[in-house]
Amino acid sequence: MSRSALPLNAIHAFLVTARHLNLTHAASELCITQGAVSRKIATLESWLGFSLFERHARGLHLTEQGANLLPELQQGYAMLVNATEKASRSNTSIRLKAPTCAMRWLVPRLVALEQQRPEIHVALTTTLDHASQLENYDAAIVFGTPPAGSIRLFDEQLTPVLGSHVSPPTHIRDLAKFTFLHPTNDSRDWQLWLNEQDVSLPMARNQHFATMDLAISAAIQGFGVTVADVTLVQNDLATGRLIAPFAEHVATGAAYSLLQRGKQDAPPFLPELVAWLCQPQNETHSSALAGLD
């Protein structure tokens, strides 16, 4: 075998086998057969010119030469993996996870960011799960109690909204004639807002939705009236798709927060995305980018 043809796959098989000292366990981790593991190790032994393992009744043992070689191969292979992962991250997009209920706030910001900075590509994944976990994403917007280490984006504050082509109620008690659209499978959001106004209303007609975004969409189409977060419907109110007939709003105690990967593992432009998303609501996108170029 040519000395220039370094058998990287065989080195990986050796490192895994040396960790387990068991061909069965090594084969399971590598997703190949025991025979294939043995052949890869034999390839490396042939390349090196000496044996790496001794077989005993109780399993495998490293030879003296194998044991001496192992630490340097582990270090070298780790450096190789880190270098390739770093190079790969430089050409990949930023993986962002967000709950569907945040889309009305998030999507316009991502569109504006793409227009201003086309070199920043965000791969967005939506989820119905509000769990405060980063998982395998570079950043994640989470809903609920802000987890440790997160950046608080905005607090949830609810107010009634309905389609702009619908005659709005004059008084809170006039809401009783509408169909109540609920962002959850119960009425807790509506009850929270009504209790804050010290008003009790009959809810004769009700529709329940899996997310607040769906309830807002139904309200825009004139299906009824929903309670919605004032930040999430900011664009809908500004463009006239929705109206908010009452100034009163109530804080639920929940918030939308941002988690991000640590600096050492962060892809390029993640700090710019975080800075963009954390801009106060009253600042323009152009001013947000002023310090990023």
Q: Identify the band that residue 268 occupies on the pLDDT scale cut at 50, 70 and 90.
A: confident
Asked whether the predicted pLDDT for residue 42 surpasses 80, the reply is yes
Task: Among 61-65, 128-132, 163-167, 252-256, name the one with the lowest average pLDDT.
Answer: 128-132
Q: Determine the pLDDT at residue 35.
A: 92
Asked whether the predicted pLDDT for residue 289 surpasses 50, the reply is no
Q: Identify the band that residue 138 occupies on the pLDDT scale cut at 50, 70 and 90.
A: very high
Asked whether the predicted pLDDT for residue 155 surpasses 60, the reply is yes
Q: What's the N-to-C CA distance of the chain in angstroms?
A: 51
pTM for this entry: 0.64
Residue type, 159: T
Q: Identify the band that residue 284 occupies on the pLDDT scale cut at 50, 70 and 90.
A: very low
Asked whether the predicted pLDDT for residue 293 surpasses 70, the reply is no
Higher pLDDT, 29 or 82: 29
Closest-CA residue to 255 (of 236, 289, 224, 231): 231
Q: Determine the pLDDT at residue 4.
A: 57
Q: Identify the band that residue 285 occupies on the pLDDT scale cut at 50, 70 and 90.
A: very low
CA quadruple 160, 166, 168, 174: dihedral sign = negative
Q: Determine the pLDDT at residue 224.
A: 96
**For residues 181 and 209, is the Cβ–Cβ distance under 8 A?**
yes
Q: Determine the pLDDT at residue 90.
A: 55
The stretch 184-195 carries a mean pLDDT of 94
Q: Determine the pLDDT at residue 282.
A: 47
Residue type, 156: E
Per DSSP, the residues of the chain read --TT---HHHHHHHHHHHHH--HHHHHHHHTS-HHHHHHHHHHHHHHHTS--EEEETTEEEE-HHHHHHHHHHHHHHHHHHHHHHHHHHTTS-EEEEEEGGGHHHHHHHHHHHHHH-TT--EEEEEES------TT-SEEEEEESPPTT-EEEEEEEEEEEEETTSPPPSSGGGGGGSPEEESSSSSHHHHHHHHHTT------SEEE-SSHHHHHHHHHTTS-EEEEETTTTHHHHHTTSEE------EEEEEEEEEEE--GGGPPTTHHHHHHHHTS-TTS-HHHHHTTT-
Q: Identify the band that residue 236 occupies on the pLDDT scale cut at 50, 70 and 90.
A: very high
**For residues 193 and 227, is the Cβ–Cβ distance under 8 A?**
yes
Q: Determine the pLDDT at residue 287.
A: 41
Torsion angle defined by CA atoms of residues 164, 212, 218 and 246, in that order, rounded to the nearest 10 degrees: -30
Q: Determine the pLDDT at residue 255.
A: 94
Torsion angle defined by CA atoms of residues 248, 252, 256 and 259, in that order, rounded to the nearest 10 degrees: 150
The stretch 79-103 carries a mean pLDDT of 78
Q: Determine the pLDDT at residue 92.
A: 65
The stretch 23-37 carries a mean pLDDT of 91
Q: In which residue are the tokens 């959001």 written? A: 189
Q: What is the pLDDT of residues 174-184, one digit of tens each?
A: 999 999 999 99
Q: Identify the band that residue 86 occupies on the pLDDT scale cut at 50, 70 and 90.
A: low
Bridge partners (DSSP) listed for residue 56: 59
Q: What percent of the chain has pLDDT over 70?
A: 90
Closest-CA residue to 245 (of 269, 228, 262, 265): 228
Q: Identify the band that residue 56 occupies on the pLDDT scale cut at 50, 70 and 90.
A: confident
Q: Determine the pLDDT at residue 134.
A: 81
Q: What percent of the chain has pLDDT over 90?
A: 70
**For residues 162 and 176, is the Cβ–Cβ distance under 8 A?**
no
Question: Exposed, middle or buried, 127 (CB in 10 Å: 0-12/13-18/19+)?
Answer: middle
Question: Exposed, middle or buried, 47 (CB in 10 Å: 0-12/13-18/19+)?
Answer: middle
Q: Considering the chain, what is the average pLDDT of its residues? A: 88
